[in-house]
Every structure is written in structure tokens, then in C-alpha cells.
Structure 1
Amino acid sequence: MKNFFIVTLLCVALVGCKEPVKQTDTNNETEVAPVEKSITATALVSAKSNSAVSGTVTFTESNGIVVMNANLSGLTPGPHAIHIHENGDCSADDASSAGGHWNPTQDDHGAWEHKGFHKGDIGNLQADENGIATLTLETDLWCINCEDETKNIVGKSIVIHKDVDDMKSQPSGNAGDRIGCGEIVLEDK
């Protein structure tokens, strides 16, 4: 019985003192990198300019990639521009307090990830016959709460426009009135 107890203690001690898992190739030994946790920011979109728009735009960053998921309702059927604007202030009735498109690199307005576009030039979403629209976008051009102000979207706002973004008119695509706005806020976890 005494030997069993000693063997058990030795097993527990050996298991408890394991080193971190390592991957080994023929000549190099490297530690496995920890899995990066995700971080989330959300914009609660509310109606502006006497519209009925509401919804949520969620941003989730993991491993250097931000995924945006927009879920909106109360739109008129058809296309509507969606942009990130420079100020996280939606207090004005017409959302003018949100400022212009977020454009930290001072580029021309244009289509997302084409030559010449603002970091806030998301593009258009399509509302169905019930006024519901969804849009998903994935990019490494944004970050959530990072120190790079040319990428950090926290403290900016999401703005939904009445009309379609033509992707060429300067400085904002001739997208019409601002009918929805929500500040992009870091979620507490």
C-alpha cells in the first residue's frame, strides 16, 4: 500500500510539471503560439432623417481579420449605401454629427478594395421587399481598439444612407440623406 501511494504521488508530480507543448522539426524546436482571442465592437443603428431604420452592425476581430455583420430593418426596398464615418457621434437628427467618411489615408472615394477608396467606403447593401438587409464583410484593413489610427474603427460610426453609393462621386458617392447611424463601441467582456 505504501508503494502504491508513493507511485501515485510521483505520477501526479510528473504530470503537474509538464513543460509547454513544443513542435519539433529536424533541427529547430519552436513553441506552439497561443490561439488569439477575438474582440468585438458593436454599432446599434437608430433612425435618422425621419426614417424607420434600426439594427445592429457587429465587428469581430480574430487573428488580424475583422468580420463585419450588418443586420438592418426599416429600410425602403432596394440598395442603400453603408459607410464608416469619422465621428462616433449620432446625436444630430440628420446624423451630420457623424462627420464625413472615415478617410485616415486621405484617398479618393471609391469602391471597397479597388484603387482609390476610403477605409470607410463599405459600399451598398440590398434591402428586400420587407426592408430587411444583411451584409458581411471581412478585411485586414481595420482593427478593433488597436493603436493604429489608420485602422482602428472604435469611436467611429456606421451610417446608412437613403440612396445607393455610385462609388465615384467625390467625396461621398452621392448617397443621399443619412437615414441610420450608430457609434462603433467596444464590447465589455
Structure 2
Amino acid sequence: MIKHDCTVIIQINGSLRLMPGPHGFHVHERGDIGNGCSDAAAHYNPLGRVHGGPGEQFPTVRHVGDLGNIVTPATGVTMINQTYRGLGLSGPFSILGRTIVVHENVDDLGRGRSPLSNTTGNAGGRVACGIIGRVVRP
């Protein structure tokens, strides 16, 4: 029997205007941006794990959708150029068709004292979102 290990790397690029500071950045369950991003439901967590950060062991320690924080400088323009391991656009942990959400506050990566730390990173309200799709270039 031959076993092939494959690491999937997803690149997320973009820019948006936010209040300066760190903001939680997560993939949510549904591909629905209605009601101020609330219709996207909870963090994508098919394995029922506690909240964590992107550098933590996947999938044993964190949600699939836990992407940590993005940081907005004093100019208010956030440039996102992040690479993530453990996500996919197909297969059992596909994020295709789900919603990516930027939160109001810093994600404490599950290490805070708030009861919300283990579920949302206590990252606060949703300030921006978009549905994850596939771009086909000619």
C-alpha cells in the first residue's frame, strides 16, 4: 500500500477598509452574507473542535475555519495576503461556497477568559464578509 500525504495550501488576497487594529478572520458554515453577515452561521467546524488559531494542529485542536487575525494599520486599509494549510476547495473540509468573515475585534485564539473564547475567539461582531468562490481565468 502506498500512502501519499498532501498538504493543501490556500492563498487569500484582498484589501478592505476597517478600523485600525487586529480583527478576527474566519470561515463560517454557510455561503450566505445576509443580515449583516449573520446568516453565515457559526465558524466552520465539521469536527466539533474548540476554537484555536491557524498555527495550531489541524484538525485536532481548532475549527477548520479558524484563520486567526488580520491587522489593519492606521491608514484603515487592510491588505490581506495570507497562506493557510489544512483548507481545501474540494474534499471533506472544503471551504468553497462558504463565507469568509472579518470580525470587529481581535480573535483571542481560544486563550481568553471569556466563555466565547472556546467558540468564537471572543472576536465580536461581523464587519465584513464574502462568499468563497472559484475564479476561472481564461
Q: TM-score, normalised by structure 2?
A: 0.80
Which residue among 69, 73, 78 is the counterpart of 1:133? Answer: 78
Name the counterpart of 2:56: 114
TM superposition shift of 1:136: 3.2
In the other structure, the counterpart of 1:31 is none
Determine if contact 1:71/1:132 at 8 Å carries over to the other structure: no
Question: In terms of Rg, which structure is larger?
Answer: 1
CA deviations 1:106-130 (Å, max 9, x no partner) are 1110111314111100000110111
- The answer to whether the 8 A contact 2:10-2:88 is kept is no
Cα deviation, 1:5-48, whole Å, max 9, x if unaligned, reads xxxxxxxxxxxxxxxxxxxxxxxxxxxxxxxxxxxxxxxxxxxx
Give the structure 2 partner of residue 81 of structure 1.
Answer: 24
CA distance in 1, matches of 2:66, 2:10: 15
Give the AA of the match of 1:132: V
* Residue 143 of structure 1, CA deviation: 1.5
Cα contact 2:50–2:119 (8 A) shared by 1: yes
- Could you tell me which amino acid in structure 1 is paired with residue 131 of structure 2? E
Quote the residue 2:34 is aligned against: 91
The answer to whether the Cα contact below 8 Å between 2:13 and 2:79 also exists between their aligned partners in 1 is yes
Percent identity between the two aligned chains: 33
Q: Gaps spanning 5+ residues in structure 1: where?
A: 1-62
Distance 1:134 1:76 in 2: 13
Which residue, out of 129, 135, 138, partners 1:187?
A: 135
| CA 1:113–1:101: 2 relative to 1, 3 Å | same
For the residues of structure 2 that align with 1:68 and 1:156, how far apart are their CA atoms? 16
More helix per residue: 1 or 2?
Answer: 1
Instruction: Provide the C-alpha distance between the structure 1 equivalents of 2:20 and 2:82, rounded to a whole number of angstroms.
Output: 21
Alpha-carbon deviation of 1:64? 5.3
| Residue 142 (structure 1) aligned with residue 84 (structure 2) | no
Aligned length in residues: 123
Identify if the C-alpha distance between structure 1 residues 140 and 112 changes in structure 2 by more than 3 Å, giving closer, same or farther.
closer
* CA–CA separation in structure 1 for the residues paired with 2:46 and 2:82: 19
Aligned-residue CA RMSD (Å): 1.8
Higher relative contact order (CA 8 A, sep 6+): 2
- Could you tell me which residue of structure 1 aligns to residue 98 of structure 2? 156
